[in-house]
Amino acid sequence: MTSEPAANLHDFAPAHLERVLRETVSPPFRVKQIAEWMHVHGAGSFDAMTNLPKDVRADLASRFTIAFPEVLERTEPAADRSQKYLFKLADGNRIESVYMPMGDRTSVCLSSQAGCAVGCTFCVTGFFGAGRNLTPSEMLGQFFTIQHEHQVPKELMNVVFMGMGEPLLNLEHLATTLDILYLTIAPKRITVSTAGIIPGIDELSRMSRRPNLAISINAPDRKRREEIMPITKKYPLDELIASLKRYPTERGREITAEYVLLAGYNDSPQDAVALAKLLRGVEAKVNAIPFNADPNLPDWMKRPSDAAIDRFVDTLVKSGMPVTVRRSKGREIAAACGQLRGKTEARSRASRQRELAESGVDRARGMKSAGVERDAVHRERR
Ligand code: SAH
Ligand code: SF4
């Protein structure tokens, strides 16, 4: 007979945790102590709770777990000290996160799913296909592990959900994770990036505490967006833009429009003008991300030259659109999420393409980057 695995208390929303602990421990002040160990200190074991009597810790450990995913691999720090982490989940799935020191502040890029069903053609995670939703403990585990290892004060941290997966297809667990992060990190320090799941964007917009929204636009028109982001067929570009216009933004918290620059495809000055026009009426700034190449991705996809990137950015600025560029020197450490796992995955591009051909899908699929360089900011002087 196999017994059910113990529940992970890091999967419980704060109010749920309190209820469960009230039924389990006494006196009542212990409940607060334990919650603080978990949510403020990010404890990954009951043994870490040193001000708790040993028998209380042992009793908790006999009923529950608070374990985080295990670190399988860390890349050597890149020139900018960024590091990529590969985690192993309890069921053997592997996910990636990135530590990105940026001046005074530090960002961590978290995965929300162990794969992605959205299938953008330029993204390695999409290339490897769907994976299950991550639980709150798996998302929080990425965050706390990196925060502990680098001893970053939480008030100096930004959190971005731009790793593997589509966070708005995992909204329930994302909401619990956000509620826990909000206990120590302000919503304006947290960004959720989406490929454009409109019902998810609307749901986020109704939350009383909202993270920043980043939207992967990646193309200046519907036709090209359908080519590289097939999800556009389900959630059309004009409806997506309308949902962005509905998203409430406070001062200084514009929406980030991410735009992967592919040489000769979407990087011309005309494309920049079209992008600025598309985003007219949206409180947005553009984050241009030069494409990050990977052997699993279609050969025609190339990073534009620096001159082409500059031309694109200058045209955007002239069109009145604030823009940051993610210069991706962090490529040395495989700065793209999905790449580190992809390197060791026993699945070749050829076999994936065969599979796609058999299933009637004739597109090669891509990978994704979470470029790690400090962004260069360009803004029109007004
Ligand atoms: N699923 C969400 C969040 C993860 S992808 C989303 O799509 O927004 C995070 C970012 O990486 C997206 O903006 C995506 O466009 C970008 N990206 C994916 N593959 C890339 C690649 N090969 N090179 C550069 N950026 C890439
Ligand atoms: Fe999924 Fe985002 Fe990659 Fe598209 S870019 S396949 S939505 S992870």
What pLDDT is recorded for position 350?
45
Element (DSSP H or E) covering residue 273: helix 269-278
Q: Which residues line ligand 1 (CB under 6 A)?
A: 122-123, 162, 166, 193-195, 216, 218, 258, 260, 289, 291-292, 336, 366-369
pLDDT for 250 equals: 84
Residues 195-204: pLDDT tens digits?
999 999 999 9
Atom 8 of ligand 1: nearest residue by CA position? 194
Nearest Cα neighbor of 82 from 94, 99, 97 is: 99
The ligand placed nearest to the CA atom of residue 304 is: 1
User: Any idea of the CA torsion for 198, 199, 201, 203, to the nearest 10 degrees?
Assistant: 170
Q: Please tell me the distance between residue 57's alpha carbon and the centre of ligand 1 in angstroms.
A: 42
| Per-residue pLDDT tens digits for 253-301 | 899 999 999 999 999 999 999 999 999 999 999 999 999 999 999 999 9
Helices (H), 279-382: 306-318, 339-344, 349-358
> With 0-12 CB in 10 A as exposed, 13-18 as middle and 19+ as buried, what is 301?
buried
Residue ranges in the chain modelled with pLDDT below 50: 331-335, 346-375, 379-382
- State residue 230's pLDDT score: 97
The structure tokens 């028109």 sit at 221
